[in-house]
Amino acid sequence: MLNHSNVCWAAYALNKTRLLKEEHPVNSLGQQITDRQEFVLSFLPLAHIYMRSLQGVQICDGGALGYIHGSTNTLLADVQELRITAFILVPRIIQKVYDGISTKLERSSFLKQALFKKAYAARLKMFKAELIKIQKQFLTSYNNKTTPKPLQFVNQTRLNYQKTTNLVFNQFPKMLGGRCRIAVTGSAPLSQTHGEFMSICFNLHLIEGFGMTETSAHGTVQRNNTVNYGQIGEGVEGNTKLRIQSVPEMGYNISDEKVLDIGGQQVKTVCPRGELLIKGPSVFQGYYKDEAKTKESFVDGYFTTGDIAEFNPVTKEVKLIDRKRGIVKLSQGEFISINQIEDAISKSRFVEAVFLYANRYHAFTLAVVVPNVQYCTQKGFKSDENLAQSAAAIKMITEDIKKTCKQYQLKSFEIPKVILIENEPWTPENGLLTPALKIKRPACKDKYEQILISIIKKLEKIEGNDVGVFAEQVIKTLEEGSNLSEVESVTSGQSGLR
């Protein structure tokens, strides 16, 4: 239950403490102007708490708010039409932009590819140098036992990259309407690669934040001098308090030590790890007609988020590393984090969306993957090909996923043994994604569990790790689909929603 005060505070606090006016704004002709009205586009339903909070911020600021006219497939066209000044988005959209540009680049001439890589490398070098400079400033404050001053983020001056790189990148800002200077993302982890790509190509300041429905979409946000993607920053303002509580059964404790790389220097320090708790004026009153759930969701007035966080005492920022409610125990006794594995799988260029399946009755995992058709076509598959029935496609995508997961240091029992391909995209309309483009795990479980269990039972009878053989068993199971109604259904033990 959120009251009027919760929602109003979230909008007011974000607007007054963080959203400062742009310094030295110019119009479309490059002429200096006194002030600029903020233009933001929403792709979320009006009832979504993120959308409600965003409306409040814009009203407080006298800004303009636009709404997409169709689905997220037309998002960039709407962005260009509105000529936004700030881009509110989620990591999945950033990944789509990254994949789209990368695919187009790979199809271009050798000369264009070489020019892009050279210009990007030059900008990335400057970007990294800025990061090291900022980190050294944090380290100095840490060594002197002083607290870095909280800095606002929207007035961030964009980097003055070498003019020669503009020959390559001057068209990119026009894709967002030509005047977007900042992007704010949340709802899921953002990879450093995708964050850097978005910042460098479009020369905007990209920051991450964290909030939940229970906190009125309010919570944390990165500082303006942060370019460490994957971190969610600090409390938005002084009235929002954060706490980390040990979760010893998962191996997370507030006394955990870690060696940090800060500006090229190794620093060994205590980095508290555990469940993130939050307290403040934006936190909800409780769950409607559910006193028991409300009571168990609060500790000393702090709301227990269910997210496992790590605090960096040097940068004073928080990073989400796990989900307390997203843990499954496999049959051999090993615990896995569903969310961490899905995050790693989603980094594969072949993957548009993924649902990982595991339960306590079996020793390995499987994944359902909606493929990136454009990338699959680039790799030799026909655009109208039934990839779900293609053993070659299953083998190629599974092997790429395994390679990607190993790069993210996942253990062998965490990596899916094979995948099931879903040709039909998941959307909010067909009930498999939320409006914020997150997987609806219960809906995916209901749709795919029977066939996944059937595949698992076949694979358990096979010795070795030949992905080609596994792919053939997936095809065979699909061909036997008429008998799937006889497959016994079991619970996955997965209670957390992402």
Go through the chain and tell me how many residues it has.
498
Res. 391: pLDDT tops 50:
yes
Percent over 70 (pLDDT), the chain: 91
Whether residues 97 and 221 fall in one domain: yes
475 close to 438: Cβ distance less than 8 angstroms? no
Per-residue pLDDT tens for 132-148? 888 888 888 888 887 65
More confident: 222 or 407: 407
| DSSP assignment string, 64-131 | EEEE-SS-GGGHHHHHHHHT-SEEEE-HHHHHHHHHHHHHHHHTS-HHHHHHHHHHHHHHHHHHHHHH
Q: Which of 235, 258, 276 is the last residue of a domain?
A: 235
pTM higher than the cut 0.95: no
What are the structure tokens assigned to 138, written together?
């944090």
pLDDT at 60: 83
For residue 493, the one-letter residue type is G
25-29, 392-396, 400-404, 444-448: range with lowest mean pLDDT: 25-29
Res. 373: pLDDT tops 80:
yes
In a domain, 254, yes or no: no
pLDDT at 140: 86
SS3 457: helix
pLDDT at 149: 55
Whether residues 19 and 133 fall in one domain: yes
Model confidence band, residue 286 (pLDDT cutoffs 50, 70, 90): very high
48-57, 266-275, 373-382: range with lowest mean pLDDT: 48-57
Whether residues 333 and 225 fall in one domain: no
In a domain, 241, yes or no: no
What is the CATH classification number for the domain harbouring 205? 3.40.50.980
220 close to 241: Cβ distance less than 8 angstroms? no
Whether residues 216 and 351 fall in one domain: no
pLDDT at 224: 65
Whether residues 331 and 229 fall in one domain: no
pLDDT at 20: 62
22-31, 234-243, 297-306, 325-334: range with lowest mean pLDDT: 22-31
Model confidence band, residue 485 (pLDDT cutoffs 50, 70, 90): very low
Per-residue pLDDT tens for 188-212? 788 888 999 999 999 988 889 999 9
In a domain, 148, yes or no: yes
Res. 341: pLDDT tops 90:
yes
309 close to 321: Cβ distance less than 8 angstroms? yes
**Domain limits for position 354:** 327-486
What is the CATH classification number for the domain harbouring 417? 3.30.300.30
What are the structure tokens assigned to 367, written together?
């994944």
Average pLDDT for residues 282-308, to the nearest whole number? 95
389, burial (CB in 10 Å: exposed 0-12, middle 13-18, buried 19+): middle
**Cα 111 to Cα 125: distance, rounded to the nearest angstrom:** 21
In a domain, 78, yes or no: yes
pLDDT at 135: 84
**Cα 454 to Cα 170: distance, rounded to the nearest angstrom:** 52
Average pLDDT for residues 82-105, to the nearest whole number? 89
pLDDT at 325: 78
Q: Which of 184, 209, 235 is the last residue of a domain?
A: 235
What are the structure tokens assigned to 260, written together?
């940090």
| Among 47-56, 316-325, 462-471, the range of highest mean pLDDT | 462-471
Dihedral over Cα of 371, 441, 445, 471: its sign: positive
In a domain, 410, yes or no: yes
Whether residues 166 and 65 fall in one domain: yes
Per-residue pLDDT tens for 126-185? 999 888 888 888 888 888 887 655 444 444 456 888 899 999 999 999 999 988 888 988
Average pLDDT for residues 390-407, to the nearest whole number? 96
In a domain, 91, yes or no: yes
**Cα 104 to Cα 233: distance, rounded to the nearest angstrom:** 33
**Cα 247 to Cα 274: distance, rounded to the nearest angstrom:** 5
In a domain, 446, yes or no: yes
Res. 486: pLDDT tops 70:
no
Per-residue pLDDT tens for 420-472? 999 999 998 899 998 888 889 889 999 999 999 999 999 998 988 899 999 99
Q: Count the domains in the chain.
A: 2
What average pLDDT does the chain have?
A: 87
Whether residues 12 and 132 fall in one domain: yes
Task: Name the E strands within 283-428.
Answer: 298-299, 302-312, 317-323, 327-329, 335-337, 351-357, 366-371, 419-421
220 close to 18: Cβ distance less than 8 angstroms? no
Q: Which of 177, 202, 235 is the last residue of a domain?
A: 235
Whether residues 331 and 216 fall in one domain: no
149 close to 238: Cβ distance less than 8 angstroms? no
- Between vectors from CA 60 to CA 56 and to CA 64, what angle results, nearest 5°? 80
More confident: 20 or 92: 92
pLDDT at 311: 95
Provide, for the chain, the percentages of residues in helix, strand and coil under a 3-state DSSP scheme, each rounded to the nearest 5: 40, 20, 40
Whether residues 471 and 363 fall in one domain: yes
- Which strand (E) or helix (H) includes residue 329? strand 327-329
Count Cα neighbours of 55 within 13 Å in the Cβ-side half-sphere.
14
269 close to 314: Cβ distance less than 8 angstroms? yes
216 close to 49: Cβ distance less than 8 angstroms? yes
pLDDT at 141: 84
What are the structure tokens assigned to 7, written together?
């929602």
In a domain, 469, yes or no: yes
Res. 81: pLDDT tops 50:
yes
